[in-house]
Structure 1
Amino acid sequence: MNKGQVKGRIEEAKGKLKEVVGEATGNETTKVKGKVEQVVGKTHALYGDAKEQFRKSRKRP
């Protein structure tokens, strides 16, 4: 696992937490910010996944 993957997964989890808090409190702004953080986290994670895949493919003969 590389930094991008870890950072993305953490960001995704933080976003999910914010979304749940926003739903529980009825705060639409917090809920939307949570969804945005989830998208950003998924993007980071996918970038990290692609980087890792590329790195692994370069090691193979």
Structure 2
Amino acid sequence: MPSNTLRTWRNRLGVRMGDDRCYGEDEVRYVLEFLAFRTHGYTLQQYVDYKHGQFQPSMVS
């Protein structure tokens, strides 16, 4: 994956490194959940909206 793609995702999702310059388990899960969401054809903006309760995808019950 191009580094700028991951950088964009991190910025849009609000994922940040800790003081140890590593990502925590919650941050990794958040990105993995986004990737699973993408497999259903949804966009990053739809995922952000979903996480804020503003979008209800048909794949999530």
TM bucket normalised to smaller: 0.3 to 0.5
Higher relative contact order (CA 8 A, sep 6+): 1
| Structure index of larger Rg | 1
TM-score, normalization: structure 2?
Answer: 0.37
- TM-score (normalised: structure 1): 0.37
Q: Kindly indicate which of the two structures has a greater share of residues assigned to helix.
A: 1
